[in-house]
Chains A and B, each alone.
Chain A
Amino acid sequence: MPLSREAIVEGLQRIVEPGDVVTDEQILVESSVDNFRKLQNIFNVHTMPVPAAVVMARSTEKVVELLRFADEHGVNVIPRTGATATEGGLESAVADSVIIDGSAMNEIVSIDAYNMQATCQCGVPLQVLEDRVRELGLTTGHSPQSKPVAHMGGLVATRSIGQFSTLYGGIEDMVVGLEAVFPGGQVTRIKNVPRRAAGPDIRHVVIGNEGALCFITEVTVKLFPYFPENNTFLGWTLKDMATGFAVLRDVMVNGYKPSVARVYDPGDAGLHFSHFAAEDDCVLLFMAEGAAGIAKATAEGIQAIVDKHPECTQVPSEYIETWFNDLCWDASKITAEDERIRQTRNVNRTTEISADWSSINDIYQAARARIIAEIPDITMMGGHSSHSYINGTNMYFNYFFNVVDVGPEEETSKYYLPIIGIICEETLKRGGSIVHHHGMGKARAPWVKDEYGSSYYVLETLKHAFDPNGIMNKGTIIPL
């Protein structure tokens, strides 16, 4: 017999301070969605089941008690910290869910500048950690666009990646150890060591679990020396994405590790670089960083590679440096964007995938062509590659459409999900991955079996083993 909303709230209030159980109706409806259905919050039109409560967890012990309570009574739990998710991972898919909010667990536990690692609780904003380690001449190397607003727990839970990934890696390359609480209240600590070969690397059961297996309470990440004075920027315009992908491949295959390596298609370039790029120009750009010798060698190596492509026209590096310095989204930019949407009903969405070098251009071309042909009211359809590897790269589709003849609550069904569907189909058809770094959430969960193929067995077994009662973030990664 499921508990009533009132009984859930009473149960939570017995575990934490009553003030830490939030039942304000407006907060609850706003917490029923994340940025996947951001129009519902922008226009205050809500369709998702309203959570029973948002409960603030202030310690690992409280998380243990909360998960024990939820598991015992079959209450759906949605773990959250910075609440910046974009793929529906924080949506309440079922009625009377409880959002466990770890943003108050915001202590930096230690910064170990000798062993080059920092430990912090899940609610530490990445920006706060980065600012602290910068005072020591260090950096986390992690800089997603959400850096000013995202928290460490959520970043690890969604397998986040930052703008400097080609040098520092994704969050999975940075996390050396962590603490997480599983349903029923089992606390797991994975110790911090440089490497291990004692069986499977169980960090990866937790990293990217999206709150569907456990609640991350603490993470330890690597630190790196910070040499901003050596940052070197390089930029070119060119006429086609195929060349851009080819140059990125050459740079990666030749072993260079620029922190930023990107190619923008003309549509996306028009949003950022129209002051120097023509309407039909792609833009290729790099940032080399690190110790002086490394940054210099990286920049020179990239220059030599691009010089072999006469179809690339170099632009002053100041264009790239100026763009780079205005890249992150802070709260004021998010507010301004919400107001723009409110007035124009013109919505910006993004979907990111990855594939090998042989397939990426075909996926980009096919998905783009189909979206323009099949989806109405598109105002911009473009994208860029921003995270490259020795065997392939990502494609970050960036697109805008006008919401016409439907209410804001129907934006996902009329436009967003059909576009995601096209991108997923074209990616899967060519062997790519449908999610590069935003997480599956609930938006792309319907394609999970196609994404995993025969390895879905492992995913399903993990879910059954760690969350036998199915209380962890229903509908995320694995659809309802």
Chain B
Amino acid sequence: MRILAYFKVTPDYEALRESEWSAAAGRVPSSGGGEGTSRGPSADGGAGPGRGEHAGPADGVDTRYVRRILDCFDESALEIALRLSDALVGRGRAAGLGALSIGAPGAEPHLKTLLALGFERAARVHTEAALDFAPAATAALIAAYAGRIDRSDLLVLGARSSPGGGGTVPFRVAEQLGWPCLTQVTEVEPLADGRLRVTLMGDDGLQRLTARTPCVLAVGNAVVSHLRVPTLTDRLAVRDRQPDVLEPADLGVDLADVLRREGPSLAALEGIDRHREGVLIAGDTPRAKAQALFDARLKSLLEEL
């Protein structure tokens, strides 16, 4: 089974200062609807090596100076793909594992990590700017790579990604490939007959389905949320291997054209207000405080029940 896992490298939004969100509130995002690959940073500001990969002030929120991390759903997808590969190999079956990312060279260290973890193939489709808020373009590139270049049997990726979180990329990829798409996947196991046992987190609870390949698996809130870590010895073994780098044109995708035809455009970004209301309960002893809490808050709730 030829497995392809797609992942996105994203700014660590948790590390952004609140003041950056406040500053962003007054900025008007750039193109949004797509002007070629100009969704990236403006020309002002820093001159560091990391420049040019993710949104600068022109896109509303300046993320140039925060570190880059694996998008959380994609991290689950990568580990689930590895576990599936391990299970297939454990049963004496071939499992060719590949990884794909799209964007500037910021993904390279992650691709090298995946090579050290046993991924056979690692590729990056180069775009000058991150394709944030560009699901059609993202899907076109993934589908083209999986279908024409990699000839994958199975695509595993996160159900949605930062910062947009629209969640349409897996469906768009599946549509373009003509494959079924299973969503909110939390677990995958190989079956003896070549099919897969896929666990989904549905609205009504867990579902277990049997799936044939080819298909797209969109990983949701899986218990598995962290990617394993390669040893220094593992890294040394792949020291001389470099990920493949492809241009959109290599995949037969006219990126500028796809971006021009993107649907809804980004109008504005603002931070989520995480302030919580709080009441300090007064009392000389824990017992008195517990009593005050019960009288003021819990008693009425219990009476309602």
Residues of A at under 8 Å CB distance from B? 19, 270, 272-279, 315-316, 318-319, 321-323, 325-326, 339-340, 343-344, 346, 372, 377-381, 400-402
Contacts and interface: CB of A to CB of B under 8 A. Distances in A.
Contacts of A322: 15-17, 65-66
B241 interface: no
Classify the interface of chain A: helix, strand, loop or mixed. mixed
B64 interface: yes
Classify the interface of chain B: helix, strand, loop or mixed. loop
B54 to A, nearest CB: 9
Q: Which 10 A-B pairs have the closest CB atoms?
A: A316-B46, A322-B65, A346-B229, A318-B65, A326-B15, A276-B50, A275-B50, A343-B226, A379-B229, A276-B48
B65 A274 contact: no
Contact of B46 (A278, A279, A318, A340): A318
A401 B232 CA distance: 9
Interface string B188-199: 000000000000
Contacts, number: 74
Contacts of A378: 231-232
Contact of A272 (B17, B50, B67): B67
A379 B224 contact: no
Interface of B: 14-17, 45-50, 64-68, 106, 109, 224-232, 286-287
28 contacts: A274-B109, A275-B67, A276-B48, A276-B50, A278-B49, A315-B49, A316-B65, A318-B45, A319-B46, A319-B48, A319-B65, A321-B65, A322-B15, A322-B66, A339-B225, A339-B226, A343-B225, A343-B226, A344-B228, A344-B229, A346-B228, A372-B232, A377-B231, A378-B231, A379-B229, A379-B230, A380-B232, A381-B232
Contacts of A377: 231
A381 B236 CA distance: 14
Contacts of B46: 316, 318-319
Contacts of A321: 65
A379 B232 contact: yes
B61 to A, nearest CB: 13
A277 B231 CA distance: 21
Contacts of B230: 379
B257 to A, nearest CB: 30
A400 B17 CA distance: 28
B67 A273 contact: yes
A480 B114 CA distance: 46
A315 B232 contact: no
Most chain B beta-carbon neighbours within 10 Å: one of A279, A316, A377, A400: A316
Contacts of A381: 232
A377 B232 CA distance: 8
Contacts of B64: 318
A179 B229 CA distance: 47
A276 B226 contact: no
A315 B66 contact: no
A402 B227 CA distance: 12
Contacts of B45: 316, 318
A325 B17 contact: yes
Contacts of B14: 326
Given A316-B46, A379-B232, 18 more contacts: A19-B287, A272-B67, A274-B67, A275-B65, A278-B49, A315-B49, A316-B47, A318-B65, A319-B46, A319-B48, A344-B226, A344-B227, A377-B231, A378-B231, A378-B232, A381-B232, A400-B229, A402-B229
Contacts of B68: 274-275
B229 to A, nearest CB: 4
A355 to B, nearest CB: 25
Contacts of A277: 49
B109 A279 contact: yes
A378 B235 CA distance: 11
A162 B68 CA distance: 27
Most chain B beta-carbon neighbours within 10 Å: one of A278, A322, A323, A401: A322
A349 to B, nearest CB: 14
B55 to A, nearest CB: 13
Nearest to A326: B15
Contacts of B17: 322, 325
B203 to A, nearest CB: 25
A151 to B, nearest CB: 18
Nearest to A56: B286
